[in-house]
Structure 1
Amino acid sequence: MKSLIVSLALLPALVAAGSVHAAGNKPPTSRWEARSAGKSSVALVAGPGALQTVSLMCRDGAPVIALVLKPGQPTSQPAQLAINFGVMRVDLPLTRSPDRGNIWYSDLRASPLPKLLASQSGKAAVALNGTPQGDLSLQGSTQASRTALGACYRY
């Protein structure tokens, strides 16, 4: 886990100020997209409510979800993300990225989230620390998540 935290120190190069600079300088949209980030890919989408960006990527061989919170959001820990797909709810503990107060991440190695993103359509309800944030679009999530996590997550 320590190496994962260290590698996530590089996350701002991928997810700086809510856009993936290394992946094309375009802000995320409400449709999941896979973008190139050096030798790897990042799947990203604009988030609802306090979530500016939701991203998926492989870091040190581990699947990771990274969130950029909008300015003015609390930065205290612990933090919890809940994503309700209707058929299943996924709860993820979030850790703040070192030295980056608005970037939070969670290791997805033991999570069903990638499989749900690759198999569900429509939208999923999101809550941050128990507070509803709105709906996360699942449009394009199948292809984008498989592209971004194909090297580090077994579907």
Structure 2
Amino acid sequence: MKTKLFCAIAGDSGAAFPVKIDSDEYVGDLKIAIKDDNNDIKVPARALRLFLARKDKGEGDWLTGEEAAAVRCDDLGCFKLLNPLLFLKNPENFGENFQRGENQVHVLVKLPADFASIGPNVGLPRTTALNEPEKYAEEYISLDDWMLTLCKIPLI
């Protein structure tokens, strides 16, 4: 049976977003669905870490949208990490009788630290052989002179 889970990216104060998925699917499948539904996530789905967005290490109430928006990556130790090898309906995750309500976030998504800080448009260096061919040619020609000088250095 399809269910709709609301997810929020930890450390991003943006709005929570819905993901439709079958409750018979694995947590790993939820990672793929999250990535597929969000074009701005530029990492492999396997690199995402998903946490149950319940207070008290997965035993309390669901986070509200406002509470989820305030969660930082450093705070994720307070939440239960979802095992990608378990079904969503596993009692360790959402259970068979999962009922969603209004203004609830169900999953916190953590992006890898090395990807989270990189913007979507990281440019190439300005000085390359393609955009300054004359400069590249001059430097390439001067390598012979440099190598000759380098090879004449006596060993100590």
Band the TM-score falls in, shorter-chain normalisation: 0.3 to 0.5
Tell me the TM-score normalized by structure 2: 0.33
Q: Which has the higher contact order (CA 8 A, sep 6+)?
A: 2
More strand by share: 1
Q: Highest CA radius of gyration, 1 or 2?
A: 2
Tell me the TM-score normalized by structure 1: 0.33
